[in-house]
Structure 1
Amino acid sequence: MAERKLYLYTRFERFWHWAQGLLILTLLVTGFEIHGTYSLFGFEDAFTVHNFCAWTWFVLYAFIVFWIFTTGEWKHYVPTFVKMFEVIRYYSVGIFKGEPHPVPKSERVKHNPLQRITYLGLVSLLVPYQMLTGYLYYFYNQWPQMGWGWELQTVALLHTAGAFAFLVFVIVHVYMTTTGHTVGAHIKAMFTGYEVLEHDAPAHDSRP
């Protein structure tokens, strides 16, 4: 079986991927403890760690957005419906039959249509939503000075709903990393930066 390596993930991209993943997991663990789901670190320590990670994530997110737009990586997140249903069918049925991926990775196409919409929604909607509800929650004591009369419980529920959305994403994302030509192929690629192309998968173009 012929294999070729394609360098797709830059050093900074790999760094922010793992850093963001660690921050999200830490925020989930400490956030659910703050809500009284269990006791692991203790409320005060969980609160301190949660806030530190929240501000760290905010700074990292700013760098990520800046990097995406200044390097031209935004092109890989432009949504497309070309071969969308083929990709959905592949992950629903084709992958279990050993069929080839309908949109193999290439230098021009780093993410398939399903990934594009998912990642775009994550970066442009879910992350800002979670940060906004989190910081509203954090600055609760300043609400009266700003003339805001919202219910704290409402903001807390909105923030918790976002946390569950992230939890679902993490679970699905981890599962999807096992769908490469080997169980650990995609995970290895996010460490080395190289994706392994099998058979006659194109290295320069993979339309859509």
Structure 2
Amino acid sequence: MTRDMVFSRFERFWHWSQAALIIHLIMTGFEVNGAYEFYGYERAAELHRFNAWLLLGLSVFAIFWHFISGEWKQYIPTTDKMRAVLRYYTLDIFKKDSVHPFKMTPLVKHNPLQRIAYSAFNLMILPIIWVSGLLYMYYNDWPDIGMENVPLALVAGIHTAAGFAMLVFLIVHVYMIFTGKPLMRYLKAMITGYEDSHD
């Protein structure tokens, strides 16, 4: 067995802080849309806006860190081992003795499917959430930017759709955490920073 430090303290802080903020944003988003009542509408909306600003600030800081550290390269899509990874997740994962074809290292942290998923999350879902959320927050200022003829329902619908896309991403992400062998392998790596290779 080998042990490599794969995720730095900052990466783990960013990951878990982002996860907590996103989960709370999803919860308050559902409440603001009337799915249930826990905080009450006004408090839920206030918390939703507050956590949105925290997530935006964290994201700006993370983008800066990724560019300064060079870690942005981890998200460049690749087809290297794509077929093997697809085969693993569709067929081989159900075989007792199957081995994941991708080995996580400090220099290459994400398999080809992860790179595509994380790129879509960071380059599509998050920006749509930010832009639509900021427009939603500053609805009263729309005439100042020439948007007085844009229906609020359109922006609200886009924001809600992006919120559901984020929820789907979160569900799949949590599911994929538990596809490691042994079961807690990936979760342990994101908690401790170390990847234990059992292959």
TM-score bucket (shorter structure): over 0.9
Runs of 4+ off more than 6 Å: none
Indicate the residue corresponding to 1:139 in structure 2: 138
CA deviation after TM superposition for structure 1 residue 156, in Å: 0.5
Q: How far apart are the structure 2 equivalents of 1:173 and 1:190?
A: 13
1:90 counterpart residue number: 88
Unmatched tracts of structure 1, length 5 or more: 200-208
The residue type paired with residue 125 of structure 2 is L
Question: What is residue 107 of structure 2 aligned with on the other side?
Answer: 108
Cα contact 2:82–2:113 (8 A) shared by 1:
yes
Name which of 48, 51, 55 aligns with 1:50: 48
Q: How far apart, in 1, do the equivalents of 2:92 and 2:105 lie?
A: 20
Q: Which residue is 1:99 aligned to?
A: 98
1:177-204 Cα offsets, whole Å, 9 max, x none, are 00111222211111110011013xxxxx
Question: Partner letter of residue 169 of structure 1?
Answer: F
How far, CA to CA, are the matches of 1:191 and 1:178 in structure 2?
A: 14
1:33 CA displacement? 0.8
**TM-score of the two chains, using structure 2 as the length reference:** 0.96
Q: Equivalents in 2 of 1:197, 1:69: separation in Å?
A: 28
Residue correspondence of structure 1 range 62-81 to structure 2 within 5 A:
62-81=60-79
Task: Find out whether 1:124 has 2:123 as its counterpart.
Answer: yes
**Alignment gaps of 5+ in structure 2:** none
TM-score by length of 1: 0.92
CA RMSD of aligned residues (A): 1.0
Letter paired with 2:140: N
1:5 pairs with 2:6: no
Cα distance in 2 between the residues matched to 1:107 and 1:35: 42
The 8 Å contact of residues 7 and 106 in structure 2, kept in 1 or not, is answered as no
Note the alpha carbon deviations across 1:39-88, whole angstroms, 9 max, x for none.
11100110010000000111100011011111011121110012212211
1:131 maps to amino acid? W
What displacement does 1:145 show? Answer: 2.5
Q: Look up the match of 1:206.
A: none
